[in-house]
Amino acid sequence: MFRTFRGGQSGGWRVTSISPVTGEPLPFVPALSITDSEAVSLPLVPSRNAWRLVGVTSSLRYTERPEKEQLVAVQAGLGRLEATSAALIPIRKSQAWWELTQEERRKIFEDRSHHIASSLRYLPAIARQLYHCRDLGEPFDFLTWFEFAPVHAALFEELVAMLRRTEEWSYVEREVDLRMVKEVLSA
C-alpha cells in the first residue's frame, strides 16, 4: 500500500510552515492531503505550486526484538482525535550512509545515536510512522510523519532537536520540516 502526501491548495491538514533544514526546500503550499492506494497516480499536469511525495511502510530495520516490544507497548496509533498537530519531515541520507553495511548503520542508529532508546520517552504523546521511498525513485529516502496534541508541541520540538544532534543525522543531506494543523469542519 502506497501512502501519498500531496501538497496543494486543499486537504485535511492546513500547512503552517515549511522550513528547509538542510538542502533544497519544498515549495510552500497551503494544505496537505494524505491518501492510501495500491498504485501511485501521477499528477495530471505538473505544477510549481503543488507536489507529491510517496512512501510505503516496511518491516522495522535496525530494530532488535526487545526494542520492538518496547515500542509496541508504548506507542500510540495515528488518527487520535486530540492529535490535531502534525509534522511531515522528509529526509534523504548521503551516499556515504548507504555505502555502510546494515550492521554499521545499526551501530550508528542505535548503539551510538540511541535513536530508539532516546525516543521512547516521547511516546505515546507523539505518534509516528516511517515511510520508505528510496527504492521508489522519490527525492527522499524516508518520509517521517508525526501526530500530537497541541499541548505536546514543546515535547515534539525537544524530540526533533535531540535526534538532529545525533551522529546518525550527520548523514542527512536533505531535510524539510513541514508543520500542520488538522482542518476541523464545523457542524
Q: What is the pLDDT of residue 16?
A: 98
Q: 18 — phi, psi (to 5°)? A: -135, 115
Q: What pLDDT was estimated at residue 140?
A: 97
Give residue-wise pLDDT tens across range 55-113: 999 766 667 777 778 777 888 999 999 999 999 999 999 999 999 999 999 899 888 98
The four Cα atoms 57, 60, 66, 67 give a dihedral, to 10 degrees, of -80
The arithmetic mean of pLDDT across residues 9-31, rounded, is: 95
pLDDT in the model for residue 69: 82
Distance between terminal CA atoms of the chain?
A: 32
Q: What is the per-residue pLDDT for 96?
A: 97
